Structures are given as C-alpha cells and as structure tokens.
C-alpha cells in the first residue's frame, strides 16, 4: 500500500520530545531523566515531504536488513538510488522492496533473506526505481 505523507505544508501536532543523549541498551545511566526541546518529526524523518511516501511491507524477503512483514518504510522519491540502497522498484508492473546492486551492467535487486531469489534484470524486463527507503518504522 502506497500513500502520500502530506502536501506542501507540514502537518501540525507531529512534535515529540528528544532526550539529549543516547539511551544505553545495557546498563542504565543515572544522568538520564531530562529532555531537550521538541523535535519536529517531519523534519527529523523526511528530507522532502512532497516527495515522501510511506510504504507498508508485506513478506519476509528483507528480514536480514531488519525490515519485517507489516513494517512501514519511509520512501523518498526525490533521491537518486545508489548501489547498496534499499529501494522500492517497479519490475514488470509489480512493486518490490530489495537492495540495489549492479552486475555486468545489469540491475540486480537482492533480497536480504536466503530463502528468496535475487532479481537479475534483463533487457526484456521493464524496471524503474520508484524510490529510496530512508527509514523503517517497526513496532516493538
């Protein structure tokens, strides 16, 4: 499912408080417990809201990249895709999320799960990079 995040204006009410330091995943820090000012999540998560979409992931081909079934990707259609990027591609009219690479001059879309085959595009395939995934929203 693909849908726009917003128009030219930034929606109000997407502010969150930001802790001034990283939170340790090991032992707790006694210095924690205070916050800096609010963070605009639009600015924090999106480079260009007019070119940004949220895509819901279905399937398990990208679990090795930490992208799971039901996760939502923030996808920027205004970025140029580079080798190694996680991209949303349109291959023969079908959308897919894969890691981009090139081999012998051909585009290769690779899963991050060995149970799935990579897609090596031929001259007979129609393929375009729809956008570059910049963030993964994952429920904990």
Helices (H), 68-122: none
Please provide the distance, in angstroms rounded to a whole number, between the alpha carbons at the two ends of the chain.
21
Could you list the active site residues? 61, 98
CA neighbours closer than 13 Å in the CB half-sphere of residue 28: 3
d(CA 47, CA 67): 21
């Amino acid at each position: 499912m693909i849908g726009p995040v917003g128009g030219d204006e930034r929606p109000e009410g997407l502010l969150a408080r930001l802790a001034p330091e990283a939170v340790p995943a090991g032992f707790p820090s006694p210095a924690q417990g205070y916050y800096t000012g609010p963070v605009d999540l639009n600015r924090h998560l999106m480079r260009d809201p007019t070119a940004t979409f949220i895509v819901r992931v279905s399937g398990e081909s990208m679990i090795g990249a930490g992208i799971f079934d039901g996760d939502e990707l923030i996808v920027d259609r205004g970025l140029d895709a580079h080798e190694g990027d996680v991209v949303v591609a349109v291959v023969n009219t079908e959308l897919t999320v894969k890691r981009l690479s090139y081999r012998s001059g051909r585009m290769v879309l690779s899963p991050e799960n060995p149970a799935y085959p990579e897609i090596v595009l031929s001259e007979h395939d129609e393929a375009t990079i729809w956008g570059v995934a910049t963030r993964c929203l994952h429920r904990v």
